Structure 1
């Protein structure tokens, strides 16, 4: 009887073991290739797909080993649809391609202008392996050139603005990077204008090993409203947009006395509020901003009132200039209409819905409260 019980338990154990998942279909990590960035162009009625692939040897190493730089691999294929282009890429691939590590997607200006963005993003969003939190960019540069650039010291492209833009933005909050899912949400909102950062190159600022080192940077923004491409604002044209971003952390501002610079401050937008009124069929927006500043460099002994007045004057000028430049391309670049759409829908339907912003909206009063909170390590020399 005892032997029989042991036999039954053994048979049951064998049966349960047969139900366990095995590893017979596993594939070694070295026999898969990992796409890390995707580029999309559109020419001659065909999509052009770029797939950047990295060797993980560029990213990690064992303790005591030096980091061996591996070449970046870029695949290119064409097709009438994105899926066609992907399968054309598969025809010549030597190892299976895994898309779960894609971190960024770059669209050319031609693709953004000629194809509905939802069509561009549909295939990407449907494919289960590609995550929603990938960085999205537009560009007028060569995608091949962008994908071949690496940061300094032979570091992995994972440390570049293409794949890790937030560290740079926290240090200099000029153009805010955006995730694909957030951009699509803005793109679909009737009351919002969606902004897509422009990825470009800098060939003049850096040298490495005595040679010119080309690096990536953000150079402007492309704007969309009601599924239509509206245009682009360059870096200088869009400089006022950063002041209406509550996540703006560090922006330099230099004030002048005559033609001479007297002080450079680092500003942080603490808060801003938007109020609107309707007058003669136009929606007029009043802005109220609270800004904190840190004195970073002082060349002249100037009064506190002079500093505040010059900061306010320059900020107002940049905010108004960017607003006007946005109206020139029929874009509400500050998304002021969104506050009306959400909180005063009747006014939005009456005065704003389906109408070009240059004929329906105006910028009214701009109130800016400036607080100088710090003068750095050295005692402030300004006269009170």
Structure 2
């Protein structure tokens, strides 16, 4: 009798699983794009297609890659999402959200309200990556990944992984955006993306892919403007989240200009803010490793290291001026003062005379310059002894 009762109890517990939905009977949203057009929110949900998710030992499907989208419009974000529910036919699951794409109109006028709507939606996790774009969200979400990989393998879905090869604007999560959006002194860089069909070909057919093209600068919840990757080169090379930045320098050897491929690695940037009788001065201390990857002949000039330092200093300063021109502060000097010199920050708010960065106050220290090119064997000893 006792065993019978045990069996009844076990069966009662197991029956609790019957209402759990099957994996294949849900629509898994992996991306959400939001724009604001004609006084309405335009929401696009991108769904995971199980037909092109890893099915082989090679980690990809042999089937062509398809993208499923749901589109809805409404006066609020939730209203637009509900319109998608009307046609999706099966329940939507948000556990796999990886990407949030905001149109420029949202960044200009509706970012705070949009972020609040997402933050208060308990179905949506805030761990996905945030991007801005001027292109239609549908176009972004229907770009391809080479070799028929699923969209979940795209660079925008795993930006930190690709930083190992060629660093770009540091990745920003929606959670990070929520934390920083209303900080009065914080300049937020929202990576911007666009599409390009001139890089990847399948046979001779052009394949549209998503690329990084710069960043939108936000401060105090307001859009300050957009800077291209070229404008932000100096910042990209020396920010503390950068890993690897390939760059070409030139060196004149025996009257002939030679081009040298340099690899900049693992920078460490530190802000310097000090106050004395002359007021507040700001500066940057940058430590970075550099390797000569490729050169046409042996580098004998003892000045090549100083040239690299000067080029980095020039790019870092140019990025600062570009951001300052549109009201941004990419090196976060104002935020540093807000947190650690608050009384001074308040007085500067009144006078509107914040200290400015001078090029001479950017100090670049390159770790011993090395080379992996046999032509330049021993160059690290030569150059670093003559620094």
Query: Is the structural similarity TM-score above 0.5?
Result: yes
- Structure 1 residues 152 and 285, CA gap change in structure 2 (3 angstroms): same
Q: Does 1:325 align with 2:322?
A: yes
| SS of equivalent to 2:345 | helix
Structure 2 equivalent of residue 60 of structure 1: 54
Structure 2 equivalent of residue 3 of structure 1: none
| SS of equivalent to 2:62 | coil
Match of 1:338 among 324, 328, 335: 335
Aligned mates of 1:132, 1:337 — CA distance in 2: 27
8 Å contact from structure 1 (residues 198, 222) kept in 2:
yes
Superposition RMSD in Å: 2.5
Aligned length: 374
Aligned mates of 2:200, 2:61 — CA distance in 1: 24
Shift of 1:126: 2.1
Aligned mates of 2:32, 2:114 — CA distance in 1: 12
Structure 2 equivalent of residue 81 of structure 1: 76
Q: How does 1:1-384 map to 2 (within 5 A)?
A: 6=1, 10-11=4-5, 13-15=7-9, 17-61=11-55, 67-115=62-110, 117-257=111-251, 260-277=257-274, 283-303=280-300, 305-351=302-348, 353=349, 359-364=353-358, 365-378=361-374, 380=376, 382=379, 384=383
Displaced runs of 4 or more, over 4 A: 62-66, 278-283, 381-384
Q: Which moved more, 1:279-288 or 1:301-310?
A: 279-288
Runs of 5+ unmatched residues, structure 1: 1-5
Shift of 1:52: 0.8
- Structure 1 residues 77 and 287, CA gap change in structure 2 (3 angstroms): same
Aligned mates of 2:300, 2:343 — CA distance in 1: 47
- Structure 1 residues 336 and 300, CA gap change in structure 2 (3 angstroms): farther
Aligned mates of 1:13, 1:92 — CA distance in 2: 44
Aligned mates of 1:280, 1:362 — CA distance in 2: 17
Aligned mates of 2:235, 2:70 — CA distance in 1: 36
Aligned mates of 1:183, 1:355 — CA distance in 2: 29
8 Å contact from structure 2 (residues 238, 267) kept in 1:
no
1:328-347 deviation line (CA, Å, top 9, x unaligned): 11111121222222222222
